[in-house]
Structure 1
C-alpha cells in the first residue's frame, strides 16, 4: 500500500549487535526492567474498563510492549519473546464484541486520555504484527478496534480535535496507528479516516501542520505540548509515506528544523515550562534559565529519537543522525539508572547550576493516590529509546550499507536476496576517536558503503586499506568499489574540545568532546565552580565507580561524561552542565 520508498531501510531483526555503551544498556534494560514488568497488571484496566478518574493507565501496556518488541528485534531474546506473545494474547482477549479495546468505561469514551491509550494499544499490536508474527488474529483485532473508534469519532460523529487532552493533540496523535492499521488490513477506508484526521490539523487551536510549514515556532503550535505534538508529526510522516504528497513531508521537515534549532538542549533532550518539562518553550535559548520549569521529559527524548529516525530514513538527511547520536549518548543514557532498571521523568534541572537526577515514581499514585506498580510514562518508554539505537546504527539503501553510529558492533547487511556483507566495528567510540571497520564476505562484491561524517568532526581522517580518502563534515562519505574479504576502513574523528557559549549570552559555557557532553560531578569536586577550559582535555587513568570516563581540564578541574554525571540518582550527587568561566 505504501506509495513512497524510503531512502534508507532498516536491516532485518537481529542483524546488528551493539557492544558499546548503548548495547550494554540495552542488555541491562531487558534483564532488569522489561523481563520484570507485571504484564498482567498492565492488561487488567482493559479487562475491567474501570479507569474512571481521567488517568492514563491506558498508555502503559502499549508503551512497555513496544519497548519490549523493539528490544527483542535487536537481541532475539527467547524469554522476552515468550513474554511478548503472552501479553499480546492477553490484551486481545479484552476486546469486546463491539470491537473496543479501552480502559475507560463507555460513558467516558473519547474523553481525557482514552483515544491516546487506544493509540498505544494499536501501536503495540501493529509492531507485533510487523516484527514478530503477521497473524490474521492481530489483523482482525486492529480492524475491529478502528471500526469501533470511527463509530465514536469520525465523519458524522465527533471531531477528533474536540476529544481528549491538550486541545486535541493527544487524540489526533492516533494518526500513525490508523495508518498502521490501514497497511495491515489493506482497508482504504482507514486511509480515508487518516485523511480526515490530517485535515483537522491536530489541534482545536489551529492546524499545526500547515503552521509548521509556514515557519511557526514549535512553542506556538497548538498549546505547545511537546510529546503529543511530535507524535502527531510522526503520524504526518507516515501519511506522507502513503500518499507521496510533498507538502506533508515539507511540513514535517519544517517542524524537525524548528525543534532542532529552537527547542533541543545541549544534552539532546528537550521540554520545559511546567515542573516536569513537557512543553516546547524556546528551550534552546532558555536552557540556562533558572525559572523555565523542569527540564527534559524522557518521553520527549524517545519521541524525538523516533521522529529523527523517520526523517533520516525518508530523506537521508545525515543531520538527523547527528541529533540522534547526541541524544543517545547524553540525554538518553543519562536518564537511565546505571543498571537500566529505572528512568528519570524530569531530567537535571537546572542545567546551569547544581542539580541532581531523580528516578521516576509511581505516576498514578502521585496524581490519583492509587498505586499502579510504580509505572511512569518515561519508565515505560525509555527502553524503546535504547532499542532504537541498533535499528539506526547501520541501515541500507539500494546501493549498500549505511553506517550511522560507530560504537563497537557486528552487523550482517543483505546486498541481494542471496548475499550479504558482515561489518565489524571496533574501537572505544564514543569515548575515543579511532574506529576500524572490517568487511567479511564469501567473495568479491561491488557496492557502495556510506559513512556518516558528523558535522562536529571538522577534520576526519579516513583510510581504506591504508589509502587516505577525503571526508566532508555533515555528509555521507560514499565509498563505491569492488570490496574484498578482509578490507578495512580506519577512521579518526576530530575529538578536539569544543567550548560552546550559552545561547542566551549569560557567559556560561558547555564543553563537548566528540558526541559526548562533559559535566561537573560532585564526586570529582565542587559543582558549579568556575573553570578555565583551555584548548584540550586530558583523559584521566584514575576511576570512580559508575563513571565511564574522567577528564582533566588545563586548570586541573575534573569532569566526566554527562551520562555518568549524577548517576547515583541522589540529592547528594549533583552535577552541572553549563559552567561558569574564569576570565583569561
Structure 2
C-alpha cells in the first residue's frame, strides 16, 4: 500500500523518513522552457488551408454530445473498450484550434461540451464509463486521463474554476480508487501499466495549477512504480532499444507487452512535465535517451513508425511491406513528445524531426478535405480510412489527428530570453514579445516548402537589441542568409544561426535553403532508394504511371549525388507539389535504354487524390554483382 502511505504522509508532513526523503526531493528547482509560444498566429497558403479544413470539417463537424454519452450514469457498463478517450482527444484538439483561430462559434461548442461533461461527474468525483466492478481495469484510467487533460486545457484557456474543480475531483477519485485496491497503478490495464500510468501528465499539470503536494507525491510514486518488476522500467531501460525492452508476449495486446509505442511516449511526455516541476536531471536524461533511441531505431523516412501499434526495430525494414504501419496516434504522440523537447531545450534537432513528421507522416494521414484520418499509412501501398471503433462514429486516430496538426502553429516562431527563435517556415504572421516585453510582429512571406526562399519582415514598437535565431535544417547543406541585403556568415546546417543586433521596424531577413533533390539509400544485400526535397518525401503514384509502379528505377544523379527535379505543373490540380525526375529503368536486353522521366509527388498527396491510387516511397534497386 505504498500509494496510501504517500498520501497519509502528505497529510502528516515530516512524520516519517519517507516524507523527509520526498521533501528533500521537492526542493529541486522547477525548470522553465527555453521557448515561449507565440500567442497569436495566422497562417496562409498550404498549412493555413490544412488547418482550416481540419477545423471546419473534423473538429466543428463532430457531434460532441455523442462523445459524452458513454459517461452518463445509465451507460456506465463498460468492461474493456476505450470510448472514454474520444472526448478528451477531440476536446484538446478543439482547444488548440481555438487558440490558433478563436471564434464565438467554437467557444460556444467548448463551453457546452465542458458543462455537459461535468454534469456526468458523480458525487465520488468519477467521470468515466466503466461498470463499478471493473473500475481501474483495461482502459478506465486511460479514459480518466483524457478527461483530465480536456478539463485542464479548458481551465488553461479560460481560467474556469469549475473545470479545475472537476479535474481535482477526478484525480482525487482515482487516487482513492487505487488506495482501495492495492495502491499499484502499473498492474492496471495492459502494456506493463503504461496506458494507466500515462496519467502522469495531467497529474503534473494539476500540481502546477494547484500546488497541492499530494499530486506531486502521486506523480513521483507513479515513476517509482515504473521501475518495479511489473512496471515498464522507462527510466532504467531508457538506453535499451524500445522495440526490444521485454520478451515478446504470448498475447500481443496484453499486460506483458512492453513495446506499445503510443502509450510509452505518452508516459515520457508526463516525465518531461515532472522534470519541469522538479529539475530532476534523471527524468530529463531518460526522456532524451529514449527519444534518441526511438529516432534511431524506429522512425522512418516520413517521420513515424510502429507496426500493429508496437515498436519493433522498424527503421531498418522500412523499405519492406510492414503490417499496420505507423498508426496516426503514434505519429501524433511522436510529434508531441518531440515538441516537448524542442520547447524545453530549443535544440534544432527536435525541430528538424518535427518538421519531417508534420509535413509527411501527419499530413499524409489526413484526407484532402480534413474530414477523415487514416489509421495506418504505409510507405508503399494505399491510403485507406480507419474503421469505426467502439460504436462512436469515429476511430482513435480521427479524434487524435488534429491534436498533432494544431500542435505546431504556436511554436513556429517563439520567444526566448535572448529574443526570438524561428523554428519553422510558413507564409503567415506571428505576434510575440521582445525580451523587454514590447510587441514584436514577425511576418513570413514564402511558398515554403515548395520554394526554398523565405522572407521575414520585422515590426517593432521601438528599436530592440536582441538575438533572432533562425533554424538551418540539417538537410540544407548550402544555405544563404542575409539581413537587409548583408550576407550573414557562419551559417551551418543542423543548427540555429544567431543574428544579434539592434532591430527596427522594416528590417528584413531572407533565407534561401538548399532544395536540391536528395537520394536516400538503405540496405546492403538488397538496396532501396527514395527521394527527398527539403523536408518533403517524394513518391511515385499510379495516377501518373498507370501500372508501372513495380518497375525498378535507378535515380540519375549528378557528381555530388543530387537528383535534378523539375516542377511538373500539369499535376497541380490533384497534388500539392509534383516534379519530373530522370531514372534508369530495369533492363533485360543486351543494350539497355537511356533514362526515362518519371513524375514524383509529395508523400502527403500520394494516394490521397480524388481517385484511389497506389503509391510507393521506396524503390527497389537492381542487384548487380558485376557493377559492385
Structure 1 length normalisation: TM-score?
Answer: 0.93
In the other structure, the counterpart of 1:4 is: 31
1:473-528 per-position Cα deviation (integer Å, ceiling 9, x unaligned): 11111111001211111111011111111256521101100000000011111323
In the other structure, the counterpart of 2:502 is: 482
Query: How far apart in 1 are the matches of 2:569 and 2:65?
Result: 47
Q: Tell me if structure 2 keeps the 8 A contact 1:507–1:581.
A: yes
Query: How far apart in 2 are the matches of 1:346 and 1:396?
Result: 35
Q: Which of 340, 348, 357 is the aligned partner of 1:327?
A: 357
Q: Tell me if structure 2 keeps the 8 A contact 1:551–1:558.
A: yes
Query: How far apart in 1 are the matches of 2:419 and 2:189?
Result: 45
Equivalences for residues 452-467 of structure 1 within 5 A? 452-467=471-486
Q: Which of 94, 98, 112 is the aligned partner of 1:72?
A: 98
Q: Does 1:244 align with 2:279?
A: yes
Q: Which of 191, 202, 205 is the aligned partner of 1:177?
A: 202
In the other structure, the counterpart of 1:367 is: none
Say if 1:203 and 1:337 are closer, same or farther in 2 by CA, change over 3 A.
farther
- Report the CA distance between 1:578 and its aligned residue: 0.4
Q: How many residues were matched structurally? A: 563
Q: Tell me if structure 2 keeps the 8 A contact 1:46–1:94.
A: yes
Query: How far apart in 2 are the matches of 1:180 and 1:502?
Result: 42
Stretch deviating more after TM superposition (111-120 or 307-316): 307-316
Q: Stretches of 4+ moved more than 4 A in 1?
A: 202-207
1:420-448 per-position Cα deviation (integer Å, ceiling 9, x unaligned): 11111111101111111111123222111
Q: Tell me if structure 1 keeps the 8 A contact 2:476–2:534.
A: yes
Q: Tell me if structure 2 keeps the 8 A contact 1:359–1:569.
A: no
| Unaligned 5+ runs, structure 2 | 1-25, 247-257, 557-562, 583-595
In the other structure, the counterpart of 2:592 is: none
Say if 1:251 and 1:504 are closer, same or farther in 2 by CA, change over 3 A.
farther
- Report the CA distance between 1:533 and its aligned residue: 1.7
Stretch deviating more after TM superposition (154-163 or 440-449): 154-163
Say if 1:110 and 1:285 are closer, same or farther in 2 by CA, change over 3 A.
same
Query: How far apart in 2 are the matches of 1:155 and 1:504?
Result: 56
Q: Which of 319, 324, 329 is the aligned partner of 1:288?
A: 319
- Report the CA distance between 1:532 and its aligned residue: 3.0
- Report the CA distance between 1:157 and its aligned residue: 2.7
1:51-107 per-position Cα deviation (integer Å, ceiling 9, x unaligned): 424110000000000110011111112211110111011101111111111111111
Q: Tell me if structure 1 keeps the 8 A contact 2:418–2:435.
A: no
Q: Tell me if structure 1 keeps the 8 A contact 2:522–2:529.
A: yes
Query: How far apart in 2 are the matches of 1:203 and 1:307?
Result: 24
Q: Tell me if structure 1 keeps the 8 A contact 2:79–2:131.
A: no
Q: Does 1:258 align with 2:293?
A: yes
Give the SS at the match of 1:220.
coil
Say if 1:391 and 1:503 are closer, same or farther in 2 by CA, change over 3 A.
farther
Q: Tell me if structure 2 keeps the 8 A contact 1:358–1:569.
A: no
Query: How far apart in 1 are the matches of 2:332 and 2:461?
Result: 38
Kindly name which structure, 1 or 2, has the bigger radius of gyration based on alpha carbons: 2
Say if 1:218 and 1:154 are closer, same or farther in 2 by CA, change over 3 A.
farther
Q: Which of 255, 264, 268 is the aligned partner of 2:303?
A: 268
Q: Does 1:533 align with 2:555?
A: yes
Q: Does 1:565 align with 2:606?
A: yes
1:453-484 per-position Cα deviation (integer Å, ceiling 9, x unaligned): 11111111001111111211111111110012
In the other structure, the counterpart of 1:524 is: 544
| Unaligned 5+ runs, structure 1 | 365-370
In the other structure, the counterpart of 1:122 is: 148
- Report the CA distance between 1:378 and its aligned residue: 0.3
Query: How far apart in 1 are the matches of 2:85 and 2:567?
Result: 43
- Report the CA distance between 1:202 and its aligned residue: 7.1
Stretch deviating more after TM superposition (57-66 or 221-230): 221-230
Structure 2 length normalisation: TM-score?
Answer: 0.87
Q: Does 1:60 align with 2:86?
A: yes
Give the SS at the match of 2:554.
coil
Q: Does 1:451 align with 2:492?
A: no
- Report the CA distance between 1:10 and its aligned residue: 1.5
- Report the CA distance between 1:185 and its aligned residue: 2.0
Query: How far apart in 2 are the matches of 1:270 and 1:93?
Result: 39
Say if 1:29 and 1:466 are closer, same or farther in 2 by CA, change over 3 A.
same
Q: Tell me if structure 2 keeps the 8 A contact 1:435–1:492.
A: yes
